[in-house]
Amino acid sequence: MNGRQSMIEILKPGLFSTIQDKGRVGLQSYGIPHSGSMDSFSSDLGNKILGNNVENAVMEITMIGPVLEFKTSSIICITGADLSPFINNVNVLMNTSLVVKKNDVLSFGRLIDGLRSYIAISGGFKTEKAYNSRSMCKNVTKAVRLNKNDILKFDKSVTLSDSELLVKNIKSFGNVLSVYKGPEFFMLNSYQQNYIMSHEFSISNSYNRMAVQLKDLIVNELVSIITSPVIPGTVQLTPNGTLIILMRDCQTTGGYPRILQLEEKSINSVSQLKKNSKLNFKLKI
């Protein structure tokens, strides 16, 4: 070992943990999903607190956190949902840089709020790239999630400087989603439009990195459109009246009417909502 290659071992992977960065922009014409951190605000925040580039890869963890053992010392920062982080069984702060030493164990406890938390590390994780991104995604990268006993490399060549920066009360969370009208919004009748803009919706038990499905049905007679482009944040209306919010790993094309389009910051908010969470849509224009 030359000392530059540093490592973390995954003792337990948690519910669903992946490596994410800014994703694969500009490759959607090949059918390749955009991917990248679901809550890009929290992911960027962690990198910024550490003085990293926002393009550096972070670990995205979901609902139940992993247990990680550091084989090398480093500096990390935990942002996003509060999953009660511990280092060696001692509660640690979020949104600030944390020094971890060799053999330290990072673990998580109870989910206090939100859904997805981010672990940024000084210099970023150095996992395998596909199409110039480390974002794990089915059909794109070999590894689609982190598993027990995986060894993650990171680059320690960067100087470790404990910046002492603590960011308080910064959250990407919210239940009011600001939206634009989608290309097929005009196909809805005024009753449907008013209903969608005034109803409090709740999240069904189907919510993942591809899409978040809402529970409440809308009376709908709209037929499908011919296959057309969709992007993260597109809200589709299915023939049975279900609203589906497309998320970062969504397909690049779809055949359901696109009735709303979430603003970027609202995609981050949805990323932190779980089953039964309430939400409202608010028109931007």
Partner 1 sequence: MNKNFFINYFQFNSSSILISWENSIENDIIFDVLSFKNAINNNIKQILEVRNAYSSLLVTYKYSIDNIYSEIKTLKQVYLNKIKINLVERKTWRIPVCYDKFFSKDLDNISTSLNLSRNQIIKLHHENKYMVCFLGFLPGFLYLSNLNKKLYFPRKSVPDLSVAKGSVGIGGSQTGVYPSDSPGGWNIIGNSPVNFINTSTDEISFAQPGDLIKFYPITLEEHQVILKESNKFKFEWEAIND
Smallest gap, in angstroms, from Cβ of residue 131 to partner 1?
Answer: 6
Q: Total binding residues for partner 1 by CB under 8 A?
A: 30
Neighbours of 103 (CB within 10 A): 11
Looking at the Cβ atoms of 121 and 270, the one nearer to partner 1 is 270
Neighbours of 170 (CB within 10 A): 12
Taking every pair of C-alpha atoms in the chain, what is the biggest distance, in angstroms? 67
Verify binding: residue 175, partner 1, rule CB under 8 A. no
Cα 27 to Cα 19, 24, 130: the distances in Å are 19, 6, 12
For partner 1, which residue of 29, 169, 190, 198 counts as binding (CB under 8 A)? 29
- Indicate the burial class of 139 (C-beta count within 10 angstroms; 0-12, 13-18, 19 or more): exposed
Verify binding: residue 180, partner 1, rule CB under 8 A. yes
Verify binding: residue 28, partner 1, rule CB under 8 A. yes
Looking at the Cβ atoms of 112 and 223, the one nearer to partner 1 is 223
Looking at the Cβ atoms of 25 and 217, the one nearer to partner 1 is 25
Verify binding: residue 251, partner 1, rule CB under 8 A. yes
How much is the CA Rg of the chain, to the nearest whole Å? 20
As beta bridge partners, residue 78 has: 119
Smallest gap, in angstroms, from Cβ of residue 138 to partner 1?
Answer: 8
Verify binding: residue 225, partner 1, rule CB under 8 A. yes
Interface segment toward partner 1; rule CB under 8 A; list 58-66, 81-89, 131-139, 147-155: 131-139
Looking at the Cβ atoms of 81 and 211, the one nearer to partner 1 is 211
For partner 1, which residue of 17, 74, 97, 261 counts as binding (CB under 8 A)? 261
Smallest gap, in angstroms, from Cβ of residue 101 to partner 1?
Answer: 37
DSSP assignment string, 155-179: E--SPP-----B--S-----SEEEE
For partner 1, which residue of 1, 90, 151, 226 counts as binding (CB under 8 A)? 226
Looking at the Cβ atoms of 80 and 182, the one nearer to partner 1 is 182
Identify the H or E element spanning 8: strand 5-12
Looking at the Cβ atoms of 36 and 182, the one nearer to partner 1 is 182
Question: What's the CA angle centered on 32, arms 36 and 184, to 5 degrees?
Answer: 90
Smallest gap, in angstroms, from Cβ of residue 158 to partner 1?
Answer: 26
Measure CA 181 to chain center.
24
Which 8-state DSSP code applies to residue 29? G
Helix boundaries (H) for the chain: 40-49, 190-198, 264-271
Looking at the Cβ atoms of 253 and 276, the one nearer to partner 1 is 253
Residues forming contacts to partner 1 in the complex (CB under 8 A) are: 25-33, 130-132, 139-140, 180, 182-183, 225-229, 231, 233, 251-253, 261, 263-264
